[in-house]
Amino acid sequence: MENISDKILKIRSEYGDKALVKEDLNPDPIKQFESWLENAIEIEASEPNAMAISTVDSQNNPRSRYVLFKNIVNDSLVFHSHYESAKAKEIENNPNVSGLFFWPEIYRQIRFEGVVSKASREVSDEYFKSRPRGGQISAWASDQSEEIEDREILDQKIKELEKEFEGKEIPRPKFWGGYLIDIHYWEFWQGRKNRTHDRFSYSKVDTEWKTVRLSP
């Protein structure tokens, strides 16, 4: 019987041969990001707005998880979360993060580095109102990252909240809202045949973006 290492060695994915050249890049990385995201949405990539975010804890141990990118505000990427969760505490201690989008269907990846701050109340409220009612209830119900003895405790809390808010507009909890990622480094990766990928980085120099090609 094959072990997992043998099975992994047999995995071979050959990427396409779509080239990425500097002349085709938008000088503004936000515009370039929007273009690639729109393409991922058009081809119906799986969870095109899924964004891996990496933080560090108080012991400088890196921690990663996926969140959902939801908007662009003042050239910053927006996601939403519980303000008392583990990642929120890590962001409060060290707001520097790195992130990643990956769309395997079109052999593209975007990596970025930036600084996180809380979004305005208006940004948080606007998004919360757009969430399905069940999503609004779950924001109230979950003590994110805290230990929970049993799933039934969460289910019971949801039932109680549904009864409490029945026939009412559900307000955004003060402990839940948006975050802005102010990005100072972007990297765009296009998969190519034989692992000779195309990579370009954008680095902020004063108020301008410097774009360079990187070796694969």
Mean pLDDT of the chain: 94
Note the pLDDT of residue 4. Answer: 83
Residues 146-165: pLDDT tens digits? 888 999 999 999 999 999 99
Residue 28 has pLDDT above 70, yes or no: yes
Q: What are phi and psi of 19, to 5 degrees?
A: -85, 150
Q: Which residues pair with 100 in a beta bridge?
A: 52, 111
% of residues, the chain, pLDDT over 90? 86
The CATH architecture assigned to 16-130+174-214 reads Roll (2.30)
For residue 142, which amino acid is it?
A: S
Residue ranges of the domains in the chain? 16-130+174-214
Note the pLDDT of residue 13. Answer: 73
Given a contact cutoff of 8 angstroms between Cβ atoms, the answer to whether 189 and 113 are in contact is no
Identify the band that residue 12 occupies on the pLDDT scale cut at 50, 70 and 90.
low
Residues 32-41: pLDDT tens digits? 999 999 999 9
% of residues, the chain, pLDDT over 70? 98
HEC readout, the chain: CCCHHHHHHCCCCCCCCCCCCHHHCCCCHHHHHHHHHHHHHHCCCCCCCEEEEEEECCCCCEEEEEEECCEEECCEEEEEEECCCHHHHHHHHCCEEEEEEEEHHHCEEEEEEEEEEECCHHHHHHHHHHCCHHHHHHHHHCCCCCCCCCHHHHHHHHHHHHHHCCCCCCCCCCCEEEEEEEEEEEEEEECCHHHCCEEEEEEEECCEEEEEEECC
Residues 35-75: pLDDT tens digits? 999 999 999 999 999 999 999 999 999 999 999 999 999 99
Question: Which CB contacts under 8 angstroms, 24+ apart, belong to 89-93?
Answer: 90/55, 90/56, 90/57, 90/58, 90/63, 91/55, 91/116, 91/179, 93/57, 93/58
